[in-house]
Structure 1
């Protein structure tokens, strides 16, 4: 009876606009651990979404981005069985959010507490999370990510108890529910805002006919991470290109500089590291000469 229940809330209609994550870890049929965090989606909040979950842009301004929180989330879901209510939405959110910063899907299986509930309690007039929670006397503050994840976990445990099944695999097999797998998920079919932005950054060309060959950025490959306060990433990329640099979307062996936005830099000092930061640290540890540059130092360098 081991699994992990998850729930995502989004800021707008884009599935990559995560603004809240709830995680409930179940071990041996009991809730062992619960985690919740707000997420800065780096995108606009839709009035309708805020009306549903109550999360505003002001509330997430100091929260980690999905990219920054990903190492923590990955630790919970990798090689696990995931449960979510209407799992197609939550798995889609996970897929699109990872695609936003070009991160590969980890290995996991998944199933849906909505589909399970329909099989186990077929006579209920509907199988919305709130309906099933009320029927099973589960306390629920709906559209709070942690509360929804917990309710999904408890519904699944009640279904296993009712059917005397000992695992998600047995439960889904009993009711002929296909168990999903991350290995069979197709790649995101739509390009998210940040993916498009990274591609655009790579297409920025120098507006200066003669960049200074002695500039530290001349001929360098630069990657950006974190939200910048003093400028947009596109403008930062143009400044870098004017110095003779090439802006790329992902950290690789040819990366020379990782430019970190001020907010992300503060979190980096506190030990909160994005996937790009972790990748750079690993490469530096292997002897690759990559420099991490803060936003303010970057500004001084491009005005060199």
Structure 2
């Protein structure tokens, strides 16, 4: 009874589902069983998109991928499954630097799936699959968009003017084993440092300083060069040689933060490890 309204809503837009060949098969079977003609449809699959975007991942189910990306949702609820699917598509677009579904498919060499009264043909790789390395992040004020079922969902506009153009480490893994790629993608959705001002001091051992500053920005925070009463968080690394040679037991930034904390300022001091654990746990 609802199909005419559903079909009108879909129009000629591309359907997106996770393991989409199954969903399209169910939809087509339902239409046939209720004597509705199967219209010509185009579709894409976030499972196939994820396989091309993050080939190093061990599992590509909706729940494992959502867990890895930090997408919280109630599994097997139709609406929440759909939103999670959309966010996986958006994360892949953001990671690939694509602003439309067509651009994402082109970057991944992935064809569009199609279906109709004649049957269906799922999305396929246009050439042999290779283990694609993520593209370097570029400074941008562009909002990444992927059109999904007649509506447009957008990630937060990024404006990172200090992003390095140096190639990322393989799979986003730093020398210390931190999955930097995962943290960056999670940050786009969770933004655990939204509105907070952060100062780094000392020598970081798990992230490069530039990586830490970019991660902070992606998490919604803002890096400061010095500690003030407006500072929310001071992340303390190991003492550098200048501090040690001066005979001090902490950096001047940490000393200022501790003094402000003693005076009642709401500044929190933590180690680099605690900083990473806080972001991962959010």
- Give the TM interval when normalised to the shorter protein: 0.3 to 0.5
- The answer to which structure, 1 or 2, has the higher relative contact order (CA under 8 A, 6+ apart) is 1
TM-score, normalised relative to structure 2: 0.40
Larger radius of gyration: 2
TM-score, normalised relative to structure 1: 0.37
More strand by share: 1
